Chains A and B, each alone.
Chain A
């Protein structure tokens, strides 16, 4: 099992111009804990939408790499998105699912992945070019390579521990998060 903060921090080392969309809840806190950045589009809601925001962004900016990082509950809520992404085949999109097999924000109820529903098989069935599960911190460097150079669409099922981590709260004003991102990505 991965320790989520350490794993996300390692993924974002030398992130360069990577565009990052973390899902609501702990994924957003993990990305904030790794260091605030204007090219983070923090989500505080829109559960189920993280992967599709990643797709819209990847299609709009084929010259940049996009990381969408939902939790398992977020991905499951928008499960059809995997099929939609499979149709479009964005080469620059990587989805890293922070899968603790639980709904952390609501009291740690078990999610579908706890019952063995396999996100890797689902992604491959949806014509993702690559899908793999990782559970050891030594694998973070390989995942980081996929983020920057792998041919998408790629899904990485990151099996993280279900331990509680302190909340790290970034910007919450949606207009401010959006405007900061757009200005950083498209300088005047």
Chain B
């Protein structure tokens, strides 16, 4: 069994703390192993409406609606989910809706499943082409700084910010028990 160390379990808490700091009130997500602790933190937070989506694309509309109503929103998704959003991202860029997306990466470091590689290997480029500023996090000690700066840029400037959490950070998917 994989036994997470303290530092591995604390980075989702650091992200959640920034969500609280900048006043994020809605979080949309498709269930994901890498985001499981952050999802739990958001669900348990009475300040945050957690919205489980059938596809990541729905979350883009959610962010826009929240912003129209005066609330900040974030999305949690896996790299494969980025591909599901591409046309809908035009809503954010076209209207200037501030948005933070936390993307857990698959299809890179240590990936056991080749079917994850085609999307995982183009995720960052797709986000950039879609108008996002992208930042990559390789280790737990980078989380606080980058997520803090990313949230500030998104909501101070109505920018679209994507933060990629590398497979190295979240750990290889454990395939065998």
Q: Decide: A57 and B95 in contact? CB cutoff 8 A.
A: no
Count class of interface residues, chain A? 35 or more
Contact of A84 among B51, B63, B68, B94 (CB under 8 A): B51
Q: Is A9 an interface residue (CB 8 A)?
A: no
Q: How far is the CA of A87 from the CA of B60 in the complex (A)?
A: 18
Q: Decide: B66 and A45 in contact? CB cutoff 8 A.
A: no
Q: Decide: B65 and A53 in contact? CB cutoff 8 A.
A: yes
Count class of interface residues, chain B? 20 to 34
Q: Is A76 an interface residue (CB 8 A)?
A: no
Q: Decide: B58 and A58 in contact? CB cutoff 8 A.
A: no
Within the complex, the shortest CB–CB distance from B24 to chain A, in Å, comes to 12
Within the complex, the shortest CB–CB distance from A61 to chain B, in Å, comes to 4
Q: Decide: A177 and B54 in contact? CB cutoff 8 A.
A: no
Q: Decide: B62 and A41 in contact? CB cutoff 8 A.
A: no
Which A residues are in CB contact (< 8 Å) with B87?
Answer: 45-47
Q: How far is the CA of A146 from the CA of B30 in the complex (A)?
A: 31
Q: How far is the CA of A47 from the CA of B49 in the complex (A)?
A: 24
Query: Residue on B with the closest CB to A77?
Result: B57
Which B residues are in CB contact (< 8 Å) with A55?
Answer: 51, 61-62, 65
Q: Decide: B63 and A56 in contact? CB cutoff 8 A.
A: yes
Q: Decide: A81 and B70 in contact? CB cutoff 8 A.
A: no
Question: In the complex, which residues 37-57 of chain A have their Cβ closer than 8 Å to any Cβ of chain B?
Answer: 41, 45-57
Contact of B61 among A52, A181, A185 (CB under 8 A): A52
Interface residues of A (CB under 8 A from B): 19, 21, 41, 45-61, 64, 78, 80-81, 83-84, 87-88, 174-175, 177-178, 181-182, 185-186
Interface residues of B (CB under 8 A from A): 25-26, 49, 51-55, 57-71, 73, 87-88, 90-91, 94-97
